Amino acid sequence: MDKKRKISIIGSTGSIGTQALEVIEKLQDKFEIIALAGGNNAELLKEQAEKFKPKFIYAQKDIKIDGTKSLKNLDEIAENQENDIILVACSGKIGLKPTLKAIENGIDIALANKETLVMAGDIVMKKAKENGVKIIPVDSEHCAIHQCIKDISQVEKLIITASGGPFLHKSIEEIKTATVKEALAHPRWNMGRKITVDSATLMNKGLEIIEAHHLFGMDYDDIEVVIHPQSIVHSAIEYKDGSVIAQLGLPSMHIPIQYAISYPERFEGIKSKSFSFSEIARLDFEKPDFEKFPTVKLAYKAGRMGGSATACLNAANEEAVFEFLDGKINLYQIYEITKEIFDNHKVIQNPTIEEIFEVDEKTRLQTKELIKKITQK
Ligand code: MG
């Protein structure tokens, strides 16, 4: 990178967005921020804009910063050809449209937003290929795989690691009675609320399987999940000749974020301390318990069905997670409700983007209605 890489961040006030800005602050001579877009936290967005002085901001509320132009929508960021790369760090379906728009404009994407690929992976990856756009994963597991792969045609299988979340060795009964606070107390990673609950039910891993299928074009039969509580091995691949290559590192999202926005270069950036095998001493691995965490099986099923199935799964799960966070249902019911909605979904094969959004909306309504019915009993 001789000249500064021009970057915009969609979702700059969230967990990934704020950590990305920490990376960029450390690498000020490598990056120039074109635009920042934030959600509800207008105060923080204002602070960020004052500090990083982007050319543009997009806020849901009206905020004014001297020397920074306010944009009306996210498309204005996605259409701006000044960008070398856009970090899509927001959570939820809001990431999908600007990502597609940026791809159409030939802008590379650092993708932290899972929903984009879970909802519309076929469309997104096809468009990226047509437009010669790189989709560089930020999710730590996919970033690990991206770092391990040289030639995908020689890969036998992907091995995605999962920390197992806070309920790894708890009983189903304990999972059923888990409080929101317990579900949000992730042992290894500090993340947003939705993804932390998904990590507790292991649905996060389910969504990551679907994400991996699209990013790397691997069959679901060749994507494996293994529990690895220390979160040191971030994922691995097995080559056809039996060689296994894994990416290791201390559990910090700064590393995958920095890799994704700097790729193919590597910088020192934020590195808390040097890696020591002897300090870590041991790495444990075990098979996931699909009886206790059936969400993973459900995600495999949705992935194999393809079409609109994964968009339905994603929407039902997300609504159920919100209701859990709201205290309406218990943690295990997130799965039960998602499954019931999913089982009744009529899959549309090769859906258009409009059909995907229709499925998303319909599924959310159905999920809310079902939860209302259950909780009124
Ligand atoms: Mg992950």
Total length of the chain: 377
pLDDT at 342: 98
Distance 320 CA to ligand 1 centre (A): 20
- Each as own residue / partner, the long-range contacts of residues 38-41 (CB below 8 Å, 24 or more positions apart, any chain) are 38/11, 38/12, 38/13, 39/11, 39/13, 39/14, 39/90, 41/13
**For the domain that residue 49 is a member of, what is the CATH number?**
3.40.50.720
Distance 138 CA to ligand 1 centre (A): 8
Cis amide bond preceding 288, omega within 30: no
Distance 143 CA to ligand 1 centre (A): 9
pLDDT at 273: 84
Q: For residues 295 and 182, state if they share a domain.
A: yes
Burial of 221 (0-12, 13-18, 19+ CB in 10 A): exposed
pLDDT at 192: 82
Q: For residues 125 and 147, state if they share a domain.
A: no
In eight-state DSSP terms, residue 221 is: G
In single-letter form, the type of residue at position 220 comes to: Y
pLDDT at 104: 98
Distance 180 CA to ligand 1 centre (A): 20
Q: For residues 222 and 233, state if they share a domain.
A: yes
Q: For residues 123 and 224, state if they share a domain.
A: no
What are the residues whose beta carbon lies below 5 Å from ligand 1 (ion)?
Answer: 139-141
The candidate with the shortest Cα–Cα distance to 9, out of 38, 31, 27, 36, is 36
pLDDT at 301: 98
Helix H or strand E segment including 157 = strand 155-162
Distance 253 CA to ligand 1 centre (A): 9
pLDDT at 233: 98
**For the domain that residue 312 is a member of, what is the CATH number?**
1.10.1740.10
Distance 25 CA to ligand 1 centre (A): 24
Distance 199 CA to ligand 1 centre (A): 9
Last residue of a domain, one of 301, 327, 358: 301
Q: For residues 296 and 198, state if they share a domain.
A: yes
Mean pLDDT by 10 residues, the chain (377 residues): 89 96 97 95 94 95 87 96 97 94 98 96 98 98 97 97 94 91 82 89 97 98 97 98 97 96 94 90 96 96 98 97 95 97 98 98 98 91
Distance 142 CA to ligand 1 centre (A): 7
Exposure string of 70-91, with b = 16+ CB inside 10 Å and e = fewer, is: ebeebbbbbebeebbbbbbbbb
Q: How many domains is the chain built from?
A: 3
pLDDT at 248: 97
Q: Which domain holds residue 149?
A: 140-301
Q: For residues 40 and 152, state if they share a domain.
A: no
SS3 label, residue 43: helix
The model's pTM is 0.96
Distance 267 CA to ligand 1 centre (A): 22
Q: Which two tokens stand for residue 123?
A: 């469309």
Placement of tokens 């609504």 in the chain: 319
The rounded distance, in Å, linking the Cα atoms of 295 and 274 is: 36
Distance 140 CA to ligand 1 centre (A): 5
Cα–chain center distance at 126:
19
Q: What are phi and psi of 92, to 5 degrees?
A: 90, 180
